[in-house]
């Protein structure tokens, strides 16, 4: 993936990342669920402006923003839009591809559908911690590559973001239609 891919409106990047591959060491998976966050909208960590915590969000695109959630889990984002704009795509779920046995060991569960079906789960499965905050997604250790042939025509569904209390109605969650590896089903009942 080139730097310019991330240097675009965060909503475009969030949709285009579905079907792409996240690799970390010998483990990898296809992105099946993302969410977009932008500084202009209060659910985003960048909404508060430039602070020590949000420094990476306002930096160059194509960089990993990893934060601790609820004191327990790490969550992985890809920083988007030009430097100076605070925006990122949260990677919410993967379909496991490589290094599945290692994922099972790290997660302590067996079912494929339980390995990476949530933002905190996939970071545990891939061994991604806060130490990788600010690392370059073009150079690694976390690398994102484009859709393979099999995923080139993936259909992407939009729905409301999960687990937030502010700006909860924005349809900024994107998922691979029909995937069994989502954190939650794509279509929420109205």
- 57 sits near DNA (criterion: CB under 7 A): yes
DSSP single-letter state for residue 121: H
User: Quick one: 6 or 37, whose CB is closer to DNA?
Assistant: 37
Q: Which of 10, 46, 56, 80 binds DNA (CB under 7 A)?
A: 46
Binding span for DNA by CB under 7 A among 98-106, 135-143, 157-165, 169-177: 157-165
- Applying CB under 7 A, the span of 4-12, 66-74, 135-143, 171-179 interacting with DNA comes to 66-74
Number of Cβ within a 10 Å radius of residue 67: 18
Residue 37 near DNA by CB under 7 A = yes
Query: How far is Cα 88 from Cα 73, in angstroms, rounded to an integer?
Result: 18
51 binds DNA (CB under 7 A): yes
Task: Select the residue interacting with DNA from 5, 6, 65, 174 (CB under 7 A).
Answer: 65
Beta bridge partners of 157: 175
What mask of x and - would describe binding to DNA in positions 88 to 127, judged by CB under 7 A? x-x----------------x-x----x---xxxx------
List interacting residues with DNA (CB under 7 A): 35, 37, 43-46, 48-49, 51-54, 57, 65, 67-73, 75, 77, 88, 90, 107, 109, 114, 118-121, 161-166, 183
């Amino acid at each position: 993936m080139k730097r310019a891919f991330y240097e675009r409106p965060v909503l475009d990047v969030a949709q285009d990342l579905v079907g792409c591959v996240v690799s970390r060491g010998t483990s990898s998976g296809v992105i099946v669920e993302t969410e977009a966050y932008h500084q202009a909208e209060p659910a985003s960590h960048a909404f508060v402006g430039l602070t020590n915590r949000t420094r990476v969000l306002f930096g160059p695109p194509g960089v990993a923003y990893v934060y601790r959630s609820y004191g327990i889990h790490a969550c992985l984002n890809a920083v988007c839009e030009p430097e100076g704009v605070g925006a990122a795509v949260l990677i919410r779920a993967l379909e496991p591809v490589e290094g599945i046995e290692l994922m099972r060991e790290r997660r302590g569960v067996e079912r494929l559908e339980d390995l990476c079906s949530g933002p905190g789960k996939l970071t545990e499965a891939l061994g991604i911690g806060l130490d990788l905050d600010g690392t370059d997604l073009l150079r690694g250790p976390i690398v994102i590559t484009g859709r393979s042939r099999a995923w080139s025509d993936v259909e992407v569904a939009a729905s409301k973001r999960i687990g937030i209390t502010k700006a909860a109605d924005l349809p900024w969650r994107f998922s691979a239609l029909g995937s069994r590896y989502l954190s939650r089903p794509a279509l929420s009942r109205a």
